[in-house]
Structure 1
Amino acid sequence: MVWSVQAQMAQKFEDGLVYKPTRYIQILKSQKKSEKLVMNRGFRDSTPFSNSASLSTSSLAGSNGVCMMRSTWRDEQHPSFLNFISCFLKENSFRLNIVPIAPDFIFNCGGLSVAFMFLTNWDGVDTESFYRKVQKLKEQFANFYVVITLPTKEQNDSLIHSYIKYGVRLGRPTFVPVRDLEMGFEKIVKIAHARGACKRQDALAKIKAEKEKSVQAMEIYLQVVTSIPGVDSHGANVLNQTIGSIEAIAKSSKEYLLETTDLSPTTAETITRFFRDPKFYLAPKID
């Protein structure tokens, strides 16, 4: 039950997202079964990837954001999986940087940072150290996810047992169990992309709200200024652009109004009297 809820929490960030298929994914899927089994074990016994320059510069566009990969995590992975990561990021317009960071990945999308811990092999994990690191990263990053490759039921049961044993609060952080490495990284990219998209939508909504507020304020401004006898909408806009606020208009002298605007002397005189002579602005207005 714990993991079904966790899976639902992770899935809600992926609804509506479609990623472009890559030819490399198809090639990777067709590899020999023996190599696939090694990949699912996390490549712990494989040769570390050494060509860091080609990996770090493989995705240069970065229109969707930046992916930062922990350098020591990279050294533990098989070249085939690293090539898959590079191709997948490039297809989805993410720039990849290899840096010495605490989590395994940090994605910067739409002004939002999302951190990930990606455990590619659960077997033999020191659970106490693992959950201690999870707790530490959770405190450092507001948006933090733990992705774990669990190809067998035994591994899944083991993780659930440890999850309960160490008293992890549901969703703090969110655990995302996956069946294989490729699925795990695809989940990471989709979650990061979705969170960034939500952040951008929130920013756009805020800008829209501010714009609507500004329009409403301008409407009120025009209503007040055009209530002055002899001042039409053109005159109100002129005053807004040259003088500014209603308070500034009220403090302006006739001479200053004539100097800074194209209003007539009669209108300038009316404006100064309107704000300074109670007998004038309290008197009944007859059109």
Structure 2
Amino acid sequence: MTGICLGNVHWKNSNPSLAQRLELMLDSSGYRVRFLTIAPDFIFNSMGLSVAFLLITEWNEDTITAALDRAGKIRRTFRNCYAIYSVSSNEANESFLDAYFRSKTFEIAMPPFIPVNDGQMALERMLNLADVHAECKRQGTVSQVDNEREDLVCSNDAFVVAISSIHGLTPHDANTLQQGIGSIEEIMAASKEDILDNTDLSAEKADAVVKFFHDPPFYMNPVPPSTRN
């Protein structure tokens, strides 16, 4: 796939070895690259379609909040955007997810955050995603994919499946939460007391809902097969 890649010159200066690898990858893929002062770390344009990327390859508790705020601002500017972050351990991933769910910046999965093992994999994933968008544009399937995604996200069936995946909750409980609390975003923001006051869910189920969205040890641990709904 051919196209143009605009890179953030600050990212290049902060990641010289990764920048050299990326330039080689882009050259072999047919992309021309220029480094400028831009808001995202990268903007790929191919077939008239732009895709923005934020690469979070170096982060800690002191810098992650600023990175998440930046990702939220980029999402408001670019329809197609991704945040790719590298984590080297389960503990690092839990720390990142905890900061993500505590952030007030995002809608659900907007922009999509994609974990990878290291900076090299981040570059590869970014290039793959840019190529996928360009190929969809070439085949004229972008509108179709967008419509199907919107229908899925907005459908009641998708809502019920998402909420009833919380351990201990049934499809009836999901419908009860939708009627009493509202959207997934509103359920995420609801406290245990809000859920008890506005639904007929038990205290145990209300606690499970709150923990699912805000307690990393709870939502990161798999449910034993013998206790699944």
Corresponding residue for residue 153 of structure 1: 90
Letter in 1 for 2:23: S
Letter in 1 for 2:74: L
**Cα distance 1:88–1:128, how it changes in 2: closer, same or farther (>3 A)?**
same
Deviation, structure 1 residue 90: 1.1
Q: Any idea what SS the aligned residue of 2:140 has?
A: helix
- CA deviation map 1:84-116 (0-9, x unaligned): 111111111111111111000000011100000
Q: 1:171 aligned to 2:109?
A: yes
Deviation, structure 1 residue 203: 7.3
- Greater Rg by CA: 1
**Cα distance 1:91–1:129, how it changes in 2: closer, same or farther (>3 A)?**
same
Distance 2:40 2:62 in 1: 17
Q: 1:131 aligned to 2:68?
A: yes
Q: 1:86 aligned to 2:23?
A: yes
- CA deviation map 1:16-75 (0-9, x unaligned): xxxxxxxxxxxxxxxxxxxxxxxxxxxxxxxxxxxxxxxxxxxxxxx6111111011111
Q: 1:200 aligned to 2:138?
A: yes
- CA deviation map 1:123-145 (0-9, x unaligned): 24433322221111110111110
Distance 1:125 1:142 in 2: 28
Distance 2:28 2:46 in 1: 16
Task: Find the partner of 2:118 among 137, 158, 180.
Answer: 180
Corresponding residue for residue 75 of structure 1: 13
TM-score by length of 1: 0.47
RMSD over aligned Cα, in angstroms? Answer: 2.1
Tell me the matched-pair count: 143
Letter in 2 for 1:116: F
**Cα distance 1:113–1:204, how it changes in 2: closer, same or farther (>3 A)?**
closer
**Cα distance 1:190–1:92, how it changes in 2: closer, same or farther (>3 A)?**
same
Structure 2 spans left out of the alignment, 5+ residues: 145-229
CA contact (8 A) 1:104 1:116 kept: yes
CA contact (8 A) 1:68 1:107 kept: yes
Structure 1 spans left out of the alignment, 5+ residues: 1-62, 207-287
